[in-house]
Structure 1
């Protein structure tokens, strides 16, 4: 931690920088509160990678109607399996 003499003013911190705000506030916490903050941050990070649940849209229904004569349902099932892998 940097100490300043009385004739020097500490640098003005950028209040718009979330990283700096977090660091400054974490340093002010007790060790127990720091551990809790880490748990909360980890929980937030876990949620970030999880996509929000969405309802299934059926706007595509009937979109392959023109392929009905070209493929059987079994062939389409195999193609869909290949596309997913």
Structure 2
């Protein structure tokens, strides 16, 4: 899809930057092949972490408190 555009841009680069592009492509290939992207998905392991204070505070009150802390 972008092959022609990529080739044109790479030809414009000096040799040392072409090597950097190649290194980056290799990095991306390793990253996606190793499943690293899959492992970085967001987890909900924190869910229920504040259940003991559920009766004391509403979610809106907690949001306001979080804004104060920022």
TM-score, with normalisation over the residues of structure 1?
0.42
Q: Which has the larger radius of gyration?
A: 1
Q: Going by fraction, where is helix more abundant, 1 or 2? A: 2
TM-score (norm 2): 0.50
